[in-house]
Amino acid sequence: MSKNKEIDYIPQHKLRLSFMPWLYFRLKDKHLSWAKPWQDTLQQQLMSLETVDIAERCFIAPEAKLFAEPGRLIKIGEGSFVAADSVLHGPISMGSQVSINHHCSLDGGRHGIHIGDNCRLAPYCTLYAFNHGMSLEKPIHAQAVNSKGITLGNDVWLGARVGIVDGVRIGHHAVVGMGSLVSKDVPDYAIMAGNPARLIGDRRELSEEELQRLADEIGL
């Protein structure tokens, strides 16, 4: 059955793009004619309301929540996207071609989250660049908050539901498998998995077949 030409499909297209933003970068002129003005307006409004700097050719889902008070800049590099239902609280800096998929939660604390170029964060990743004590001398809500910051190098892939704790640096070209909790620094090219995450391989030392097998096992 052919589509009803009287139906307005644009709202559904917008919703699809919000949850699958990579499709925005594949749009042809027919759809860009409404999608680009929609994004331009949304991004300009966001930059007027919050301390947010958005480069060219980015996509920000209207359902994403970005909060950046003065001194807590969120800087988004060229060609990056933030998908629906993600919550970002600055300070956060992203390089170019960074993908924040739906339902991610990032809080930069005092010293920030710094994400290099070409990084991919799968759905439901959580990065919190702050922590607090749990001394019995005070209730939890009264504990002092501290922050060291989180850094992701270039070309890092975090699988779905990966958690990164404050103070961690993820090296360039590292991969972290689904559901892992990373509490210690990760070397360049490392393949990590588990809770707590442990080193299970080096991308430079494995064949294409071995890399694919590991990818299948750790569920990116």
Region of residue 39 (left: phi > 0; alpha: psi -120 to 50; beta: else): alpha
Average pLDDT on 80-95 reads 98
Q: Is the pLDDT of residue 203 over 90?
A: yes
Q: Sorting pLDDT into bands at 50, 70 and 90, what band is 3?
A: low
Q: Are 54 and 47 in contact (CB under 8 A)?
A: yes
Three-class HEC string of 164-186: ECCCCEECCCCEECCCCEECCCE
Sort strands 157-158 and 175-176 into parallel, antiparallel or unpaired: parallel
Q: Are 159 and 177 in contact (CB under 8 A)?
A: yes
Which pLDDT value is given to residue 82? 98
Which pLDDT value is given to residue 2? 52
Q: Which two tokens stand for residue 181?
A: 């909790």
- Using alpha carbons, select from 103, 97, 95 the residue that is nearest to residue 122: 103
Match 């739906």 to its residue by tokens.
102
Q: Is the pLDDT of residue 5 over 90?
A: no
Q: Is the pLDDT of residue 86 over 60?
A: yes
pTM of the predicted structure, to 2 decimals: 0.93
Q: Which residues are designated catalytic?
A: 132
Q: Which two tokens stand for residue 117?
A: 């170029």
Task: Name residue 41's amino acid.
Answer: T
Average pLDDT on 35-52 reads 98
Q: Are 182 and 197 in contact (CB under 8 A)?
A: yes
Q: Is the pLDDT of residue 133 over 90?
A: no
Element (H, E) at 210: helix 208-218
- Using alpha carbons, select from 6, 50, 13, 49 the residue that is nearest to residue 31: 13
Which pLDDT value is given to residue 1? 44
Q: Sorting pLDDT into bands at 50, 70 and 90, what band is 41?
A: very high
Quote the percentage of the chain above a pLDDT of 90: 88
**pLDDT tens-digit series, residues 96-119:** 999 999 999 999 999 999 999 999
> Dihedral of CA 131/134/138/139: which sign?
positive
Average pLDDT on 138-159 reads 94
Task: Specify the fold of 10-218.
Answer: UDP N-Acetylglucosamine Acyltransferase; domain 1 (2.160.10)
Which of residues 132 and 101 earns the better pLDDT score? Answer: 101
Q: Sorting pLDDT into bands at 50, 70 and 90, what band is 177?
A: very high
Q: Are 191 and 212 in contact (CB under 8 A)?
A: no
User: Rounded CA gap, 32 and 80, in Å?
Assistant: 17
